[in-house]
């Protein structure tokens, strides 16, 4: 097989300057936009931009000694590094901003690995033990010990059920993650690497998770079964010395191996033979396939890095074709299929959690473990819980029993059977609470801020309040509970508790406990006689309790009874956010098809108004399982079929499905939702038959990327279409925020910057979609897409793409669209802009120097909102000579001829990505711990930078004009 020469360039100089070999690493991000390299002889980490390969890499210098291990989170937002200096560090990616030292060892680190959701990081090295670290809060989840030598390789299987590890003596261990126990130990199956620290034993799971590849002792690769650890087959070819590195292709059809003989071989796994090889000057210590292309990145023991293109011949199946489905990073979904025909136990024991019954036409249900009277239980035995899943229809056996006991005539007996078979309405539930578990600690509340837990003793309970980010909330002392609280709500200012009716007077208690107050006795409680609190909610200045009498009782945080309102149906759940209280009630009885008919309303407590009211949509056959607000204050719901919906003001007020778990459902796991932010859903994955998390061991938080339930595209570009819709939705939200802030005279510069970054990201996505349309011969769709581009540079990039694809008619259409928009832009008189009192001559001079390619285009009918077009001008006003210099470099790079049409798409998209880059001080990539907020010092620095920007640029008059 003829192989094109692979050129390597020196990246880590300290490795080669000493003349000694070292262990070097390379990893790709999920999109293939960046690769990252490191060397055990160099304390710096190099981040390479794959779209701008001629540019020097960005260097991260945070370690004090050589970097021995790298790992990239599955969603490419977090980079982990381990070093000879004994530390493991996390960075925001792709910015490379240092996040935290997540753990330390007493000896050098040799291996790192993320699980499929990025919430667990495995770290190991010369120390005795493998640490499993919770990346959300930095705690050590488990320490696994079984190896006798330094651990040099780690790998989670793609389903995150098992983890495999290998040490320098050649021993491989299979671990079961749930229990932390060893499943299989394979001794001496890999070479003994001895004391040579530049040669480390490695292993790798196949992308489908069925096989584990390990270097063999006979210069071969041995492949083992995932479940039994039995040897399946070996790959033996032209390697004359031991294998030191291996990597599966994205689709698992090919395997790349590197040996001490300085050869890299490419294997066809199905045929079990090598199909290509390349000889290098030095030993290749690490290799990684590009996730989206036929490309292999390699780095040798002297710190020289390169990219091997066209690894697999075009006549063979591409390594990126038929990639195993790992959507949402392989995260797991609700289980709705369990055994039928079991009766509910009324003991309330923990074992009952796995004994729910499901019939084919019935929605899933959870058990109601709260106490009921004997007469009510006789009438309505069901599987409800206090958390909103639909009750079950009574079994036919129960209906026949009711019929046989009836003393009425035949018609009354028929009515009795119909009544007993009528679908029951969903019981009220408190978001974030778990059912009573005798002898075990349970959650009264679990939200994005923190958790409230309780455990029952003889006659009283012990309650503890913990914040996810201890820097945000105060240390709250534990409390003794003599009321038997079963529900709670938590915010930054305090917590509210309530219990069901109990005692001789059948009273329910509501108690509010502030975290700080100028008064000594600021805690208060209220008693409700003959009225049971069903749900509680908390706002900035108010406390709400919704009761069994269909009443909303609103109190101030000082305990003043402020309002009592009536509901027109039984409550299902409620949630609070700042001034707003959202309530879900039953609009009518359940439909014969077991569907719940629910209604929501949002009340503004401070204004005594009701801004929103309407029906709450649910997936057919489902019930409501979670309801609340996102971190940004967006009303959201999640049903038992795994569909997340967010309320939007578009189309007169509609619910937008942001996530659906139906396509990738797994039957043995369940999601327990706790909240969401602008980009991800936060939940805890529970193993069946468990439906709720246990307090101990501390549950691991799982983050799911939003995935809109789109139809299967004829282009096969669902990921790009998903990003296109999400970006557009976020842009509309930012536009609304800018209009609201501008209306009250507030500064919108930070939102302007965020809007511009989203705008450029959207243009980059559209360019890639245009390329897919052209390849799929969907030219009308490509024309529709080009009208959504925001910047002139983007349209010119689209013209360049279709020109390279030899589509002159389409290029002519694109050019006509560009000319029409430029003509419309020239007709807009500048005098119509709102005068700016902060205008100065220097700003005007800077604006006049901008190149023509940086002029935002006017908004056509199908384009993005007009404020985004003007955001570019706003950003340009901030620009300096450095900005002009960057853009000149971009123009030069875009004039270079690409060898293929696909490269044209990447080039145009890369230009847009570069244009969208902000100075480091203005970037705010998402931290690895979603609960951690920016420190006070960072806030001060950011405020100073914003003040400097505001001093040098006027407010954007285009925003005000777009509002009008």
Q: Using one digit for the tens of pLDDT, what is the confidence trace for 606-618?
A: 999 999 999 999 9
- Return the residue matching tokens 């769709």: 781
Lowest mean per-residue pLDDT among 227-241, 304-318, 813-827: 813-827
The answer, yes or no, to whether residue 550 has pLDDT greater than 60, is yes
- Which range among 427-436, 897-906, 941-950 has the greatest average pLDDT? 427-436
Domain range holding 522? 441-655
Query: What percentage of residues in the chain have a pLDDT greater than 70?
Result: 74
pLDDT per residue as tens digits for the range 724-750: 998 888 888 888 888 888 888 888 888
Mean pLDDT of the 700-725 span = 87
- Return the residue matching tokens 């009208």: 787
For the full predicted model, state whether its pTM sits above 0.85. Answer: no
In this structure, the answer to whether residues 649 and 734 fall within a common structural domain is no
Q: Which residue has the higher pLDDT, 875 or 31?
A: 31
Residue 866 within any structural domain of the chain? no
In this structure, the answer to whether residues 605 and 732 fall within a common structural domain is no
Mean pLDDT of the 328-351 span = 37
The answer, yes or no, to whether residue 629 has pLDDT greater than 50, is yes
In this structure, the answer to whether residues 16 and 161 fall within a common structural domain is yes
The answer, yes or no, to whether residue 407 has pLDDT greater than 70, is no
Mean pLDDT of the 247-269 span = 94
In this structure, the answer to whether residues 745 and 622 fall within a common structural domain is no
Domains identified in the chain, total number? 3
Is 511 within 8 Å of 524 (Cβ atoms)?
yes
Per-residue pLDDT, 347: 34
Is 557 within 8 Å of 496 (Cβ atoms)?
no
Which residue stretches of 1-81 are H helix? 13-17
Residue 396 within any structural domain of the chain? no
Confidence band (pLDDT; 50, 70, 90) for 932?
low
The answer, yes or no, to whether residue 340 has pLDDT greater than 60, is no
Q: What is the DSSP letter of 905?
A: H
Beta strand 561-566 with 551-556: parallel, antiparallel or unpaired? antiparallel
In the beta sheet, which residues pair with residue 647?
655
Residue 128 within any structural domain of the chain? yes
pLDDT per residue as tens digits for the range 672-688: 899 999 888 999 988 87
CATH of the domain at 202: 2.130.10.10
Per-residue pLDDT, 150: 93
The answer, yes or no, to whether residue 81 has pLDDT greater than 80, is yes
Q: Which residue has the higher pLDDT, 165 or 671?
A: 165
Q: Which helix (H) or strand (E) holds 472?
A: none
**Nearest-CA neighbor of 308 among 6, 616, 515?**
6
Per-residue pLDDT, 905: 55
- Return the residue matching tokens 């219990």: 499
Per-residue pLDDT, 505: 67
**Nearest-CA neighbor of 754 among 918, 952, 904?**
918
Separation CA 683–CA 685 (nearest Å): 7
Per-residue pLDDT, 482: 84
Residue 548 within any structural domain of the chain? yes
Lowest mean per-residue pLDDT among 179-183, 292-296, 907-911: 907-911
The C-alpha torsion from 917 through 918 and 924 to 925, rounded to 10°, is 20
Lowest mean per-residue pLDDT among 14-23, 169-178, 632-641, 939-948: 939-948
Is 644 within 8 Å of 638 (Cβ atoms)?
yes
Per-residue pLDDT, 332: 33
In this structure, the answer to whether residues 609 and 518 fall within a common structural domain is yes
CA-based end-to-end distance of the chain: 66
In this structure, the answer to whether residues 721 and 642 fall within a common structural domain is no
Q: Count CB atoms within 10 A of the CB of residue 503.
A: 12
Per-residue pLDDT, 82: 96
The answer, yes or no, to whether residue 166 has pLDDT greater than 90, is yes
The answer, yes or no, to whether residue 532 has pLDDT greater than 60, is yes
In this structure, the answer to whether residues 491 and 579 fall within a common structural domain is yes
The answer, yes or no, to whether residue 420 has pLDDT greater than 80, is no
Confidence band (pLDDT; 50, 70, 90) for 5?
confident
Mean pLDDT of the 648-662 span = 87
Mean pLDDT of the 425-444 span = 88
The answer, yes or no, to whether residue 526 has pLDDT greater than 80, is yes
In this structure, the answer to whether residues 722 and 797 fall within a common structural domain is yes
Given 248, 276, 309, which residue is the final one in a domain? 309
Confidence band (pLDDT; 50, 70, 90) for 888?
very low
Mean pLDDT of the 918-936 span = 45
Residue 360 within any structural domain of the chain? no
- Return the residue matching tokens 């569907």: 595
CA–CA distances in Å: residue 814 to residues 593, 775, 790, 824, 856: 51, 17, 13, 16, 16
- Which range among 208-217, 328-337, 698-707 has the greatest average pLDDT? 208-217
Residue 4 within any structural domain of the chain? no
In this structure, the answer to whether residues 724 and 649 fall within a common structural domain is no
Separation CA 548–CA 529 (nearest Å): 11
CA–CA distances in Å: residue 471 to residues 262, 445, 492, 929: 51, 20, 12, 13
Q: Which residue has the higher pLDDT, 660 or 910?
A: 660
In this structure, the answer to whether residues 516 and 592 fall within a common structural domain is yes
- Cα angle value 493/542/934 (rounded, 5°): 35
Residue 401 within any structural domain of the chain? no
Query: What percentage of residues in the chain have a pLDDT greater than 90?
Result: 42
In this structure, the answer to whether residues 474 and 617 fall within a common structural domain is yes
Residue 320 within any structural domain of the chain? no
The answer, yes or no, to whether residue 303 has pLDDT greater than 60, is yes
The answer, yes or no, to whether residue 576 has pLDDT greater than 80, is yes
Per-residue pLDDT, 931: 57
Lowest mean per-residue pLDDT among 100-114, 258-272, 880-894: 880-894
In this structure, the answer to whether residues 124 and 245 fall within a common structural domain is yes
Given 309, 337, 366, which residue is the final one in a domain? 309
Given 283, 309, 335, which residue is the final one in a domain? 309
pLDDT per residue as tens digits for the range 351-365: 333 333 333 333 333
Instruction: Round the average pLDDT of the chain to a whole number and report it.
Output: 78
Per-residue pLDDT, 716: 82
Q: Count CB atoms within 10 A of the CB of residue 324.
A: 14
3-class secondary structure, 175: strand
pLDDT per residue as tens digits for the range 22-63: 999 999 998 889 999 999 999 999 999 988 877 889 999 999
């Amino acid at each position: 097989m003829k192989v094109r020469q692979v050129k390597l360039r020196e990246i880590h100089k300290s490795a080669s300057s000493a003349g000694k070999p070292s262990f070097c690493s390379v990893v790709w991000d999920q999109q293939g936009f960046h690769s990252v390299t490191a060397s055990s002889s160099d304390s710096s980490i190099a981040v390479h931009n794959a779209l701008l390969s001629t540019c020097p890499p960005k260097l991260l210098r945070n370690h004090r000694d050589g970097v021995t291990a790298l790992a990239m989170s599955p969603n490419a937002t977090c980079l982990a590094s381990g070093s000879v200096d004994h530390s493991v560090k996390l960075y925001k990616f792709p910015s490379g901003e240092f996040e935290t030292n997540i753990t330390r060892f007493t000896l050098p680190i040799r291996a790192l690995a993320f699980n499929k959701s990025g919430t667990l990081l495995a770290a190991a090295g010369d120390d005795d033990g493998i640490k499993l670290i919770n990346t959300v809060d930095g705690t050590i989840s488990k320490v696994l010990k079984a190896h006798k030598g330094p651990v040099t390789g780690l790998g989670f299987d793609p389903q995150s059920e098992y983890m495999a590890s290998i040490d320098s003596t050649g021993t491989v261990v299979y671990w079961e993650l749930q229990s932390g126990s060893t499943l299989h130990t394979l001794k001496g199956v890999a070479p003994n690497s001895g004391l040579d620290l530049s040669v480390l034993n490695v292993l790798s799971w196949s992308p489908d998770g069925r096989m584990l590849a390990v270097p063999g002792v006979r210069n071969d690769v041995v492949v083992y079964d995932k479940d039994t650890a039995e040897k399946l087959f070996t790959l033996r070819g032209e390697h004359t010395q031991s294998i030191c590195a291996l990597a599966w292709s994205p689709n698992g059809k090919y395997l790349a191996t590197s040996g001490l003989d300085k050869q890299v071989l490419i294997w066809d796994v199905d045929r079990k033979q090598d199909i290509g090889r390349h000889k290098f000057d030095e030993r290749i210590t690490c290799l990684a396939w590009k996730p989206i292309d036929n490309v292999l990145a390699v780095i040798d023991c002297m710190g020289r890095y390169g990219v091997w293109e066209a690894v697999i011949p075009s006549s063979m199946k591409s390594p990126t074709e038929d990639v195993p489905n790992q959507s949402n990073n392989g995260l797991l979904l609700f289980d709705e299929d369990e055994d039928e025909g079991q009766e509910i136990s009324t003991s309330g024991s923990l074992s009952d959690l796995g004994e729910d019954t499901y019939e084919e036409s019935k929605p899933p249900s959870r058990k109601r473990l709260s106490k009921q009277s004997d007469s009510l239980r006789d009438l309505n035995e069901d599987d409800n819980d206090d958390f909103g899943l639909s009750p079950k229809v009574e079994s036919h056996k129960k209906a026949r029993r009711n019929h046989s006991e009836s003393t009425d005539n035949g018609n009354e007996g028929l009515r009795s059977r119909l009544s007993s078979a009528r679908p029951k309405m969903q019981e009220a539930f408190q978001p974030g609470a778990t059912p009573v578990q005798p002898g075990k600690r349970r959650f009264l509340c679990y939200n994005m801020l923190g958790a409230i837990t309780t455990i029952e003793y003889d006659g009283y309970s012990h309650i503890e309040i913990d914040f996810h980010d201890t820097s945000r909330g105060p240390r709250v002392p534990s409390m003794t509970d003599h009321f038997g609280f079963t529900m709670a709500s938590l915010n930054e200012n305090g917590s509210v508790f309530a219990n069901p009716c109990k005692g001789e007077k059948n009273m329910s208690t509501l108690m509010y406990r502030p975290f700080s107050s100028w008064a000594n006795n600021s805690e208060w409680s209220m008693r409700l006689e003959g009225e049971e609190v069903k749900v509680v909610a908390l706002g900035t200045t108010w406390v709400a309790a919704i009761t069994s009498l269909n009443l909303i009782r609103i109190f101030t945080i000082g305990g003043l009874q402020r309002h009592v309102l009536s509901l027109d149906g039984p409550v299902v759940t409620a949630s609070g956010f700042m001034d707003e209280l959202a309530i879900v009630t039953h609009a009518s009885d359940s439909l014969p098809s077991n569907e719940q008919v629910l209604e929501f309303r949002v009340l503004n407590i401070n204004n005594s108004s009701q801004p929103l009211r309407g029906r709450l949509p649910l997936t057919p056959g489902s019930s409501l399982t979670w309801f609340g607000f996102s971190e940004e204050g967006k009303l959201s719901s999640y049903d038992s079929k795994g569909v997340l919906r967010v309320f939007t003001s578009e189309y007169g007020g509609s619910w937008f499905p942001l996530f659906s778990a139906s396509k990738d459902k797994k039957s043995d796991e369940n999601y327990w939702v706790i909240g969401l932010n602008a980009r991800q859903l936060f939940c805890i994955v529970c193993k069946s038959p468990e439906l709720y998390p246990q307090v101990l061991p501390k549950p691991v938080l799982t983050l799911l990327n939003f995935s809109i339930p789109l139809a299967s595209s004829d282009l096969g570009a669902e990921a790009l279409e998903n990003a296109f819709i999400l970006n557009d939705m976020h842009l509309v939200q930012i536009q609304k925020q800018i209009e609201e802030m501008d209306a009250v005279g507030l500064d919108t510069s930070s939102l302007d910057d965020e809007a511009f970054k989203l705008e450029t990201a959207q243009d980059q996505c559209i360019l890639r979609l245009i390329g897919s349309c052209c390849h799929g011969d969907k030219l009308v769709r490509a024309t529709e897409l080009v009208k959504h581009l925001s910047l002139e540079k983007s349209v010119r990039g689209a013209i360049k793409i279709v020109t390279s694809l030899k589509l002159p008619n389409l290029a002519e259409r694109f050019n006509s669209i560009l000319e029409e928009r430029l003509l419309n832009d020239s007709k807009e008189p500048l005098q119509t802009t709102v005068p700016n009192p902060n205008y100065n001559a220097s700003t005007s001079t800077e604006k006049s120097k901008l190149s023509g390619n940086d002029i935002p285009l006017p908004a056509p009918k199908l384009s993005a909102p007009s404020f985004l077009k003007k955001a570019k001008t706003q950003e340009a006003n901030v620009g300096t000579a450095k900005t002009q210099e960057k853009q000149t470099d971009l123009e030069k790079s875009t004039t270079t001829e690409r060898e293929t049409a696909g490269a044209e798409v990447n080039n145009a998209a890369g230009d847009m990505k570069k244009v969208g880059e902000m100075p480091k001080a203005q970037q705010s990539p998402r931290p690895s711990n979603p609960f951690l907020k920016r420190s006070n010092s960072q806030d001060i620095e950011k405020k100073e930078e914003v003040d400097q920007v505001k001093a040098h640029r006027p407010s954007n008059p285009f925003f005000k004009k777009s509002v009008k």
